[in-house]
């Protein structure tokens, strides 16, 4: 079993290196922990500003993480990412990690903690570098392992490598590979990024005697949308809320995503489930009908609720579309069954709520025509508010859930783009061995 060396000091990631992210999204955590190792495989928005549907400011209180550093250690894991979101042209590209050695031989990271940002369907590199004593260790004896942190003490295996052996797990098979940009590079390439890839990843480097770990945050560009089904508000338990988001081309939003949307102005007076099982809602304009007018702005928190018994709405998150949403021109208004048939004849399908939100926010779809969407609601997206178009603010208007037999509306269709991940920014095909476990036996480390 691997055994960690006792730390003989700490190196704090100073505020002098870089200012913390104002949104709280970028606080990538670094730290080490030792653990037993076994065989391998182990709106409807109410307000808007700056072309967005919401308005309101807030400054959170990010903390500062400390990383153990021991001059006597022969193996030290280094994690570094940029502290601020990169420019659009730089997202998904290789991030450079600068290191230097002090007189004791300890390696010090010179970049500040942060996150990497991409969108659904993109390619991203999760940066991770390490230093070890080449004279004391054979590089083929070092094991590199990536896991995703799903809960505080729950992990999902992503990718593992030892020597020339490689293995990817689950949904990561066929789209992950090591970057291998020189000695000490454990960075992981992830292609065709999905909504479910959002979150924190742990990079672990292990030799026969020592191990160390660090965290990288993978963030996605996208949009939050509040959601409730035809049954009405406050009808979803946690599991139903998660399924409702998936059914509308989204996932339950994280607190970080909701907080970032609130910083952009999201104001919503109905509490909804988040990814971590908490129930919260963002308020940019306090008012008596929404928790009293004299209360401060902020993301209000009901805490962690019973996932089976308690019922609320949902806050969903979606990202870039591999396709196009459009309003189908027809010679007459349609019932819901007729809308389904009309989209099919057009070589498409009725758009989901998340797809309509993504088309509005990312593709700037603007249409002053109410139409059916997949869940049976009537909605329309407004980027440029104008007279007789549902108000003064941009957003996705919701006219509710009428009877599906009424022929009163048009329809929004979604046509999928080309199959497979986008070629732009691709690093080439995954390296041999990352496809899956077919020809693999367990590696003993």
pLDDT digits (tens, 9 = 90+) for 316-352: 999 999 999 999 999 999 999 999 999 999 999 999 9
Ranges 162-166, 296-300, 419-423: which has the least confidence: 419-423
Q: What is the average pLDDT value for the chain, to the nearest integer?
A: 75
- Same domain? 305 vs 340: no
Nearest CA-CA partner of 92 in 339, 381, 422: 422
Tokens, residue 296: 């401060």
Tell me how many domains the chain contains. 3
Percent of the chain with pLDDT over 70: 67
Same-domain check for residues 253 and 271: yes
Residue-wise pLDDT for 34-92, tens only, equals 343 333 333 343 333 333 333 333 434 333 333 443 433 344 444 443 333 444 444 44
Three-class secondary structure of residue 170 per DSSP: helix
Q: In this structure, are 312 and 327 located in the same domain? A: no
What number is the average pLDDT over the span 190-206?
Answer: 93
> What is the CA angle 38-159-63, rounded to 5?
95
Report the range of poorest mean pLDDT among 109-118, 194-203, 207-216, 321-330: 109-118
Do 309 and 404 have their domain in common? no
**For residue 123, is it within any domain?**
yes
Residues 108 and 254 in one domain: no
* E strands, 31-114, in order: 66-68, 75-78, 99-101, 107-109
3-state helix, strand, coil in the chain (%, to 5): 10, 30, 60
Domain holding 195: CATH number?
A: 2.60.40.10
Question: 274 lies in a domain?
Answer: yes
Looking at 300, 318, 336, the residue that finishes a domain is 318
Residue 309: inside a domain: yes
Identify the CATH number of the domain in which residue 290 sits.
Answer: 3.10.100.10
Q: Is a pLDDT exceeding 50 seen at residue 96?
A: no
How much is the pLDDT for 37? 38
- Asked if residue 213 and residue 228 are part of one domain, the reply reads no
CA 173 to chain centre: 19
Residue range 340-367: mean pLDDT, rounded: 97
- 210 pLDDT band (50/70/90 cuts)? confident
Predicted confidence band at 290 (pLDDT cuts at 50, 70, 90)? Answer: confident
Strand pairing class (371-372; 378-382): antiparallel
Give yes or no: residues 171 and 227 share one domain. Answer: no
| Predicted pLDDT of residue 178 | 95
Task: Specify whether 242 is located in the same domain as 341.
Answer: no
Query: What's the pLDDT score for residue 134?
Result: 64
Residue bearing the bigger pLDDT, 151 or 9? 151
Lowest average pLDDT, out of 126-135, 268-277, 392-401, goes to 126-135
209 pLDDT higher than 80: no
Asked if 112 and 200 sit in the same domain, the reply is yes
265 shares its domain with 185: no
Q: What pTM, to 2 d.p., does this model score? A: 0.70
Residue 420 has pLDDT above 80, yes or no: no
Tell me, yes or no, whether 215 and 74 share the same domain.
Answer: yes
> Are residue 277 and residue 296 in the same domain, yes or no?
yes
Task: Give the model's pLDDT for residue 352.
Answer: 98
| Cα distances (angstroms) measured from residue 47 to each of 17, 42, 225, 284, 392 | 36, 48, 14, 9, 9
Please report which confidence band the pLDDT of residue 440 belongs to, taking 50, 70 and 90 as the band edges: very low
Q: In a 3-state reduction of DSSP, which class is residue 341?
A: helix
What percentage of the chain reaches a pLDDT higher than 90? 53
Closest CA to 136 of 72, 223, 232: 72
In a domain, 362, yes or no: yes
Give the domain range for residue 380.
Answer: 323-416
Mean pLDDT over residues 138-156, rounded?
A: 86
Tell me the HSE value of 188 on the side-chain side, using a 13 A CA sphere.
33
| Cβ(194)–Cβ(120) below 8 Å | yes
In 22-123, DSSP assigns E strands to 66-68, 75-78, 99-101, 107-109, 115-118
pLDDT number for residue 350: 98
In a domain, 433, yes or no: no
């Amino acid at each position: 079993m691997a055994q960690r060396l006792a730390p003989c000091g700490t190196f704090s990631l100073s505020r002098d290196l870089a200012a913390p992210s104002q949104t709280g999204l970028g606080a990538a955590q670094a730290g080490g922990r030792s653990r037993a190792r076994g065989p391998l495989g182990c709106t409807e928005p109410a307000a808007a500003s700056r072309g967005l549907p919401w308005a309101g400011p807030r400054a959170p209180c990010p903390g500062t993480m400390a990383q153990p550093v021991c001059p006597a250690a022969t193996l030290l894991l280094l994690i570094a990412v940029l502290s601020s979101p990169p420019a659009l042209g730089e997202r998904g590209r290789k991030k450079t990690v600068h290191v230097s050695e002090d007189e004791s031989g300890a390696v010090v990271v010179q970049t500040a903690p942060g996150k990497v940002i991409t969108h659904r369907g993109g390619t991203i590199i999760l940066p991770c570098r390490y230093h070890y004593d080449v004279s004391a260790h054979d590089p083929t004896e070092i094991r590199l392992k990536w896991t995703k942190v799903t809960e505080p003490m729950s992990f999902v295996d992503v990718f593992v490598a030892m020597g020339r052996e490689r293995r990817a797990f689950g949904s990561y098979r066929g789209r992950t590979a090591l970057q291998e940009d020189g000695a000490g590079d454990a960075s992981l390439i992830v292609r065709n990024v999905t909504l479910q890839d959002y979150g924190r990843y742990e990079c672990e480097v292990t030799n026969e005697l020592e191990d160390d770990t660090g965290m990288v945050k993978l963030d996605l560009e996208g949009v939050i949308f509040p959601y409730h089904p035809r049954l009405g508000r406050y009808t979803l338990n946690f599991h139903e809320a998660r399924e409702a988001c998936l059914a509308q081309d989204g996932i339950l939003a994280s607190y970080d995503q909701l907080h970032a949307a609130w910083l952009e102005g999201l104001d919503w007076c109905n509490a909804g489930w988040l990814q971590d099982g908490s129930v919260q809602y963002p308020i940019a304009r306090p008012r008596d009908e929404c928790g009293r007018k004299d209360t401060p702005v902020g993301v209000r928190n009901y805490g962690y609720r019973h996932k089976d018994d308690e019922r609320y709405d949902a806050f969903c998150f979606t990202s870039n579309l591999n396709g196009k949403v459009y309003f189908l021109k027809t010679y007459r208004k349609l019932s819901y069954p007729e809308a389904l048939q009309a989209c099919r004849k057009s070589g498409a399908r009725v758009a989901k709520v998340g797809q309509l939100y993504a088309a509005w926010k990312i593709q700037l779809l603007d249409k002053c025509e109410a139409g059916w969407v997949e869940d049976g609601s009537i909605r329309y997206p407004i980027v440029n508010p104008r007279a007789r178009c549902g108000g003064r603010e941009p957003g996705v208007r919701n006219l509710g859930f009428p009877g599906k037999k009424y022929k009163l509306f048009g329809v929004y269709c979604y046509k999928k783009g080309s199959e497979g991940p986008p070629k732009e920014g691709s690093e080439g095909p995954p390296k041999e061995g990352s496809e899956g476990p077919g020809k693999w036996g367990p590696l003993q480390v």
